[in-house]
Structure 1
Amino acid sequence: MRILTRATLPGIAEGEIDVPSETLTFLVATERGAPAELTEERTKAAVPFGGKYRVVDFSLANCLHSGLRQILVLTQYRSHSLHKHLRDGWSLFNAELGEFITPLPPQMRADGGWYLGLVDALRQNRYLIERNPARRLLLLDGGAVYRMDYAELLRFHDEQQAQVTAALRTVTENSAPSAYRVECSEDHRITGLLGPIGEHSPTGLAPMGVLVIGKDYLLEQLDHLVRVGNGHAEMDFVATLLQASGAARAVGYRFGGERGRVSQDGYWSDLGSVDAYYQAHMSLLEARPALDLYQPGWNILTYQGQYPPARTVPGPNSGNEGVFVNSMLASGALICGGAVNRSVLSPCVKVDDGAIVDGAILFDRVHVGAGAELNRCILDKDVVVSPGARIGFDRKEDRARFSVSPEGVVVVPKDARV
């Protein structure tokens, strides 16, 4: 068994200033999140993505490559799946060196119950913040997919002598929407917030769920922030913090710039709807995908079961060759005389003889029976599609049985028998 230490884990090169060692990371995975059709059984951070990953893997991989080794994962809503994934896929760090990735559900201390939002979660865990020697906190939304070198963000925060630094993405008419936008001066200082979006141009800069804040400043502001937001879950932490900061030095860090060791593909998505989730997968199949999963040295880690290799074989009765075109197949996927086109197949998916899968996302252990046809659909784990069944061809019939998105993507729930 290989022992992982600071020398063997990716992150800070030898001789660099160890900026991340002074940082305590809170990864927020408390809410159910959207799309609701995929979060019935799990929190959003645990939703499968890209055939082999979970959504949370992207933020955690960013931490790993950025040298961050002290990570508390705030959990609450249906957290078993996420806890299991963290245990199986992210037990990487060496506790003897003070490194950890630790789930942190509500501790039900004397002054707290369930987390009412991020501010309340930080308040309830104030004792953990106070006793940690880190001088800054990095707060991350565990429900977004992107790649980012947090080490450069932390260096920027120090260079600017900021108390609060918010990572900002560029919003265009074609990008993921934002409830509000941030105004920045030429020297990076945040000067104001604009919103709601309907009252202003949809373009500009918007927070992306990544925030650096000085520990002492946070502890000073925490009680005030709780009073401002009344502890409610729907309170947007970034907006509230920036509005309450007053004379504090709050700056914006432009995502997708030249800084950092990760290639700047500029991709960010909060997968906020079924259509956004579906389109994010279809974009992975483009000749030049918007999200670069193939950069050497910035791989996305995850848990992978010990499954056999993916394989195509002739159908047992017809002799049809199993084929797949422009698709992603995870380990254990088996195409037995079926045809798969522009689709993403998770581990241990089976497609039987004569079945046609086109523009579909199939989660773990989905079984598509012989002669079945799937089109523009998402099938959750352990769905069994009977021989000859059809999904995604008759909108009225699909709506009578399943959820159908505004753009016509059908979602079949976990364990369904079609």
Structure 2
Amino acid sequence: MKLIRDAVWQRMDLEMMQQTLTVILAGGRGSRLEPLTRDRAKPAVPIGGCYRIIDFVLSNCLNSGMRRVLMLTQYKAQSLDRHIQLAWTNYFCRELGEFIDVVPPQQRIDDNWYQGTADAVYQNIYAIERELPEYVVILAGDHLYKMNYRTMVDFHRRKGADVTVGALRVNRQEAHQFGVMQVDADDRLLEFQEKPEHPQATLDNPEVCLASMGIYVFNTRFLFERLCDDATDLNSSHDFGKNIIPGAIADSNVLAFPFTDENRKSDAYWRDVGTIEAYYEANMDLVNVDPQLNLYDSQWPVRSFRPQLPPPKFVFGSDGRSTRQGVAMDSIICQGAIISGGSVMRSVIGAGCRVNSYAQIEDSILFDDVEVGRHSRIRRAIIDKGVRIPPEMEIGYDPVADAERGLTVTDSGLVVIARGELIRTQDAVSTFV
């Protein structure tokens, strides 16, 4: 009897996923991540050595059985589009009705770029309608977390909701960065404030607020009606958090779904890596002995593109007479990297990097194909793809000197080197290519 019941539920889950369309919003500028977003969209920024930010949301979709995906892009989307083609198209079979389509702005409705998150979906309403979904799941493409969206869609369907909002408990001090919700005992939204100056705490804990994750499940017909009404409102910001959700609370069944973490850690993990400091901290957490974000969980894998490169290599061991050692401790070293007589501590080293003899890398993030010259010292730095660090260069030790070279130095002292920048030494100017 149990086998029959399980088979029925599996059949219902499959049908529910086939009736669901996923829309990923991946068109944000990511201006707070500059200069890393100078040449790429925020979801395409590398993280953890061999991943892109977008890989976490797409892995959630795949692991949740959601295989009908529209990804809406806008700014500097070439790198993101190329990554999707290399890493993700093989996981979706068009003949079985599965797809991941990258959709740039088409200006089918008017001549404007996307004016907000709701407007981005509204301008692609024809593409959504063509798939005839019963439910539409809307996701942001620039957050790090693990979540089974199927449970949220099932919650939405069972509760008979018009729209369901993913909800995360956050400290009250941080809540001003989010949409903050008040709910009743049945999870129905009573109030929604987008990034309030004075967030209202939950009833059970004065130090905690219920924040929106930017994840929504809509009944398709309800979504279309609200988007069309919003499009004609000249006073609207055309945003889900500012307009669509608050407007629906008064006359519709709007529910909050508590975040269910698939990360299998004691604390729920969800990160918005929207600033340089937040991005840096998320990477540095990964090199800890027991990182908060588990990348090694075979039950909920995070997928990405793996270039055909040889394994990482460490050369020149200690002979007792020289400090020339190729060594890495508490670090992530990606394929194709060569630690050639240099040392790496608490750092993320991307694919194809080379750290030459006597160089020292500490607490830093190197994107793919970075080369560090002999005797150079790098500390608390983020170095973009393809950069060549000249020999005997020091970065991250003197903020004034780094700023005088034209490098980006944050208030906390992080140094960021983008592709194509120039670095001035005492004797020459070296080009980062």
TM-score when normalising by structure 1? 0.90
The equivalent residue for 1:8 is none
The equivalent residue for 2:144 is 145
Question: Given the alignment of the two structures, is residue 386 of structure 1 paired with residue 390 of structure 2, yes or no?
Answer: yes
Q: Where in structure 2 are the equivalents of 1:205-244 lying within 5 Å?
A: 205-228=210-233, 232=237, 235-244=238-247
- Asked if 1 retains the 8 angstrom alpha-carbon contact of 2:365 and 2:381, the reply is yes
The equivalent residue for 2:276 is 274
Question: Given the alignment of the two structures, is residue 192 of structure 1 paired with residue 196 of structure 2, yes or no?
Answer: no
Question: Given the alignment of the two structures, is residue 397 of structure 1 paired with residue 395 of structure 2, yes or no?
Answer: no
For residues 366 and 69 of structure 2, the distance between their equivalents in structure 1, rounded to whole angstroms, comes to 31
- Asked if 1 retains the 8 angstrom alpha-carbon contact of 2:295 and 2:302, the reply is yes
The equivalent residue for 2:426 is none
User: What SS does the aligned partner of 1:251 have?
Assistant: strand
Question: Given the alignment of the two structures, is residue 255 of structure 1 paired with residue 259 of structure 2, yes or no?
Answer: yes
For residues 281 and 361 of structure 1, the distance between their equivalents in structure 2, rounded to whole angstroms, comes to 8
User: What SS does the aligned partner of 1:155 have?
Assistant: helix
The equivalent residue for 2:21 is 24
Please state how far the C-alpha of 1:114 moved relative to its aligned partner. 2.4
Please state how far the C-alpha of 1:305 moved relative to its aligned partner. 0.7
Query: After alignment, is 196-205 or 344-353 more displaced?
Result: 196-205
User: What SS does the aligned partner of 1:199 have?
Assistant: coil
What do the CA deviations read for 1:5-40 (whole angstroms, capped 9, x no partner)? xxxxxxx99656222211111100111113122111
What do the CA deviations read for 1:327-346 (whole angstroms, capped 9, x no partner)? 00110111000000000011
User: What SS does the aligned partner of 1:129 have?
Assistant: helix
- Asked if 2 retains the 8 angstrom alpha-carbon contact of 1:171 and 1:177, the reply is no
**Counterpart amino acid of residue 321 in structure 1:** Q
- Pair 13,44 (structure 1): closer, same or farther in 2 beyond 3 Å: farther
- Pair 182,228 (structure 1): closer, same or farther in 2 beyond 3 Å: farther
User: What SS does the aligned partner of 1:76 have?
Assistant: coil
- Pair 387,417 (structure 1): closer, same or farther in 2 beyond 3 Å: farther
Q: Among 288, 291, 295, which residue is 2:290 paired with?
A: 288
Please state how far the C-alpha of 1:290 moved relative to its aligned partner. 1.2
What do the CA deviations read for 1:23-72 (whole angstroms, capped 9, x no partner)? 11110011111312211111101000110000000000000000001100
Question: Given the alignment of the two structures, is residue 415 of structure 1 paired with residue 420 of structure 2, yes or no?
Answer: yes
Please state how far the C-alpha of 1:371 moved relative to its aligned partner. 0.4
For residues 172 and 355 of structure 2, the distance between their equivalents in structure 1, rounded to whole angstroms, comes to 38
Question: Given the alignment of the two structures, is residue 135 of structure 1 paired with residue 166 of structure 2, yes or no?
Answer: no
- Asked if 2 retains the 8 angstrom alpha-carbon contact of 1:116 and 1:231, the reply is no
The equivalent residue for 2:88 is 90
- Asked if 2 retains the 8 angstrom alpha-carbon contact of 1:328 and 1:344, the reply is yes
Question: Given the alignment of the two structures, is residue 204 of structure 1 paired with residue 206 of structure 2, yes or no?
Answer: no
- Percent of aligned pairs sharing the same letter: 35
TM-score when normalising by structure 2? 0.87
- Pair 273,387 (structure 1): closer, same or farther in 2 beyond 3 Å: same
- Pair 231,200 (structure 1): closer, same or farther in 2 beyond 3 Å: closer
**Counterpart amino acid of residue 406 in structure 1:** D
User: What SS does the aligned partner of 1:204 have?
Assistant: strand
**Counterpart amino acid of residue 169 in structure 1:** L
**Counterpart amino acid of residue 301 in structure 2:** N
- Pair 291,226 (structure 1): closer, same or farther in 2 beyond 3 Å: same
User: What SS does the aligned partner of 1:140 have?
Assistant: strand
Query: After alignment, is 309-318 or 135-144 more displaced?
Result: 309-318
- Structure 2: any 5+ residue segments left out of the alignment? 1-7, 201-206, 424-433
- Pair 177,403 (structure 1): closer, same or farther in 2 beyond 3 Å: farther
Question: Given the alignment of the two structures, is residue 122 of structure 1 paired with residue 121 of structure 2, yes or no?
Answer: yes
- Pair 122,230 (structure 1): closer, same or farther in 2 beyond 3 Å: farther
Larger-Rg structure:
2
Question: Given the alignment of the two structures, is residue 336 of structure 1 paired with residue 340 of structure 2, yes or no?
Answer: yes
Please state how far the C-alpha of 1:292 moved relative to its aligned partner. 1.4
**Counterpart amino acid of residue 291 in structure 1:** L
Please state how far the C-alpha of 1:203 moved relative to its aligned partner. 3.5
State the aligned residue count. Answer: 402
What do the CA deviations read for 1:261-317 (whole angstroms, capped 9, x no partner)? 663651111112111111111111222211111111211111111011011101899
- Pair 64,212 (structure 1): closer, same or farther in 2 beyond 3 Å: same
The equivalent residue for 2:326 is 322
Query: After alignment, is 286-295 or 51-60 more displaced?
Result: 286-295
For residues 174 and 371 of structure 1, the distance between their equivalents in structure 2, rounded to whole angstroms, comes to 43
For residues 98 and 162 of structure 1, the distance between their equivalents in structure 2, rounded to whole angstroms, comes to 26
- Structure 1: any 5+ residue segments left out of the alignment? 1-11
- Asked if 1 retains the 8 angstrom alpha-carbon contact of 2:176 and 2:195, the reply is no
The equivalent residue for 1:61 is 59
Q: Among 346, 367, 372, which residue is 2:371 paired with?
A: 367
What do the CA deviations read for 1:63-102 (whole angstroms, capped 9, x no partner)? 0000001100001101000000000000121110111000
Please state how far the C-alpha of 1:128 moved relative to its aligned partner. 1.9
Query: After alignment, is 178-187 or 340-349 more displaced?
Result: 178-187
For residues 339 and 316 of structure 2, the distance between their equivalents in structure 1, rounded to whole angstroms, comes to 8
The equivalent residue for 2:308 is 306
Question: CA-atom RMSD, angstroms?
Answer: 2.3
Query: After alignment, is 324-333 or 129-138 more displaced?
Result: 129-138
